[in-house]
């Protein structure tokens, strides 16, 4: 009976109703304060005006803010170096390729050797032509010496003829004086003979003296004419020999010109022989070989590319970044291939025009619609430590940071 009594008691307690809590007193309704309509739009309008002012200031002074930074950074930068495709200048067959792909070489190292037998023969032939030209000049020199000796001999004949003329003129003067003496004596003796004042012997003697003097004068005159003829002949010979010397002098000029032409041909042959050797133009690294031994190559055939040891960084800055950038400014270079490593350098050159001006087809903004595009100008940055250049490869991506000196 006890459990049943307990059950009845529980049921009785559960059936009692639960009393609700008392509700608090409601506050009295206060109507909101009335505000003018313009105050509702004041705040949004102020926000819009402030935003417009900020945007206007940013776009109006952005270039000056960007160009006035102490550090100018760009990731449009790459490692550059002189990459030269070494080609053949003459035709021939490749005898030997002395380097392997990507090998480090020094200036003057032999890279490719062509067969040079033909070119050596051309050099020998040109050398023989030069020797023949020199021999012809030497022969001309001896002929000139011989011709000069002939001229000297002819001049000696002229001198002798002039001496004979002088002697003949002196003989004529003496004969004329003798004739002037003997002719009056003959006339005087002949006059005395008419008066029988002299002997016939004296008359005959005076006549003989006068005739001898006249014959002597005629002989001297003939000698003078002969000496004059000899002088004229000698002078003609001298003129002829001198003209021969002039011909030899002209031949010498022609021979000298021919020698120079043959020496030039020898130089060309030697140069062509040198072209059979392709050598490293400087210290650097070669690329992949393009020719093999036994291959027939023609002028212009690319044999092997060459990359110079000297490297630099070409950074393409926006035109708005170059306000204070000058040659000599210090630079920091970070290369993606060497994370965490900083290379030091400085600006050594700034391009004289933007990259678009050096393009194959420069833009012409005078045609069609125009859209302003920020141009980029190349800045050449050299490394302070040249020993680091061999570690770099042209084409590697770079982040360049230039510290301007304002």
pTM to 2 decimal places:
0.62
Higher pLDDT, 213 or 56: 213
216: pLDDT confidence band, cut at 50, 70 and 90? confident
Average pLDDT, the chain: 82
d(CA 377, CA 347): 13
Average pLDDT rounded to a whole number, residues 90-111: 94
More confident residue, 271 or 152: 271
**130 with 141, same domain?**
yes
Burial class (CB in 10 A: 0-12, 13-18, 19+), 8: exposed
Q: What is the DSSP string of 239-256?
A: HHHHHHHHHHHHHHHHHH
Instruction: Indicate whether 4 pLDDT > 70.
Output: no
More confident residue, 400 or 34: 400
| d(C-alpha 249, C-alpha 245), whole Å | 6
Q: Is the pLDDT of residue 14 over 50?
A: no
Q: Environment class of residue 142 by beta-carbon count within 10 Å: exposed (0-12), middle (13-18) or buried (19+)?
A: exposed
So what's the pLDDT on residue 372?
82
Question: Same structural domain for residues 182 and 313?
Answer: no
Share of the chain above pLDDT 70, in %: 84
Strand-pair category, 277-279 with 92-97: unpaired
Does the pLDDT of residue 16 top 70, yes or no? no
Question: Which pair of structure tokens corresponds to residue 264?
Answer: 């030039």
Which of these ranges, 89-98, 108-117, 239-248, 367-376, has the smallest mean pLDDT?
Answer: 367-376
C-alpha 207/C-alpha 200 separation (Å) is 10
Q: How many CB atoms lie within 10 A of CB 4?
A: 8
In a domain, 162, yes or no: yes
In a domain, 30, yes or no: no
The pLDDT-based confidence of 2 (bands split at 50, 70, 90) is very low
Least-confidence region, from 25-29, 119-123, 244-248: 25-29
Nearest to 272 by CA among 114, 95, 131: 114
Is 364 inside any structural domain?
Answer: yes
Report CA torsion sign: 160, 162, 163, 165: positive
Domain boundary pick from 274, 291, 318: 274
Residue 386 DSSP label? G
151 and 231, same domain (yes or no): yes
> According to the model, what pLDDT value does residue 6 have?
37
Same domain, 374 and 235: no
Would the pLDDT of 32 be above 70? no
The burial of 54, by beta-carbon neighbours within 10 Å (0-12 exposed, 13-18 middle, 19 or more buried), is given as exposed
The residue segments making up the domain with residue 238 are 118-274
* 82-118: burial string, b at 16+ Cβ within 10 Å, e else: eeeebbbebebebeebebeeeeebeeeeebbbbebee
Domain count of the fold of the chain: 3
Residues 146 and 236 in one domain: yes
Mark which of 228, 252, 274 sits at the end of a domain.
274
1 pLDDT exceeds 70?
Answer: no
257 and 369, same domain (yes or no): no
Positive or negative: CA dihedral 94, 99, 102, 107:
negative
One domain for residues 106 and 131: no
Structure tokens at 358: 């050096």
Are 197 and 326 part of one and the same domain?
A: no
Instruction: Note the pLDDT of residue 275.
Output: 95
The last residue of one of the domains, among 274, 299, 324, is 274
pLDDT at 265: 96
CB 325 within 8 A of CB 139: no
Same domain as 390, residue 325? yes
Looking at the structure, do residues 263 and 344 belong to the same domain, yes or no?
no
Same-domain status, 146 and 60? no
Q: Is residue 22 part of a domain?
A: no
Mean pLDDT, residues 97-110 taken together: 94
Six token digits for residue 359: 């393009």
Q: What was the pLDDT predicted at 34?
A: 55
CB 341 within 8 A of CB 334: yes
pLDDT at residue 22 is higher than 50: no
Residues of the chain with pLDDT > 90, as a percent, come to 45
Q: Are residues 100 and 242 in the same domain?
A: no
Residue 381 forms part of a structural domain: yes
């Amino acid at each position: 009976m006890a459990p049943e009594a307990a059950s009845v008691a529980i049921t009785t307690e559960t059936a009692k109703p639960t009393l609700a809590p008392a509700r608090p007193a409601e506050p009295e309704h206060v109507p909101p304060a009335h505000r003018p309509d313009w105050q509702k739009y004041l705040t949004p309008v102020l926000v819009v005006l402030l935003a417009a002012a900020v945007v206007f200031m940013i776009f109006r002074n952005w270039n000056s803010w960007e160009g006035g930074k102490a550090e100018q950074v760009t990731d449009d930068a790459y490692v550059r170096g002189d990459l030269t495709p070494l080609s053949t200048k003459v035709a021939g067959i490749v005898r030997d390729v002395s380097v392997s792909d990507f090998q480090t070489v020094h200036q003057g190292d032999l890279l490719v050797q062509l067969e040079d037998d033909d070119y050596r023969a051309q050099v020998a032939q040109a050398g023989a032509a030069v020797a023949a030209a020199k021999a012809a000049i030497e022969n001309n020199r001896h002929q000139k010496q011989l011709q000069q000796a002939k001229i000297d001999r002819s001049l000696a004949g002229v001198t002798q003829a002039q001496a004979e003329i002088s002697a003949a003129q002196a003989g004529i003067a003496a004969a004329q004086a003798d004739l002037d003496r003997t002719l009056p004596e003959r006339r005087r003796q002949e006059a005395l003979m008419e008066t029988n004042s002299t002997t016939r012997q004296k008359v005959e003697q005076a006549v003989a003296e006068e005739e001898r003097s006249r014959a002597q004068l005629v002989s001297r005159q003939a000698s003078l004419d002969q000496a004059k003829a000899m002088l004229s002949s000698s002078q003609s010979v001298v003129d002829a020999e001198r003209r021969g010397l002039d011909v030899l002098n002209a031949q010498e000029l022609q021979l000298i010109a021919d020698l120079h032409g043959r020496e030039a041909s020898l130089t060309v042959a030697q140069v062509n022989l040198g072209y059979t050797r392709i050598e490293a133009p400087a210290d650097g690294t070669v690329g992949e070989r393009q020719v093999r031994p036994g291959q027939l190559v023609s002028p212009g055939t690319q044999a092997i590319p060459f990359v110079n040891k000297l490297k630099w960084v070409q950074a393409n800055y926006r035109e708005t970044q170059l306000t204070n950038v000058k040659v000599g400014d210090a630079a920091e270079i970070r290369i993606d291939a060497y994370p965490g490593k900083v290379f030091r350098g400085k600006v050594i050159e700034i391009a004289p025009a933007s990259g678009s001006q050096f393009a194959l087809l420069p833009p012409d903004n005078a045609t069609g619609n125009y859209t302003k595009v920020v141009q980029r100008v190349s800045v050449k940055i050299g490394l302070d430590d040249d020993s680091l250049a061999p570690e770099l490869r042209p084409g590697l991506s770079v982040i360049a940071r230039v510290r301007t000196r304002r």
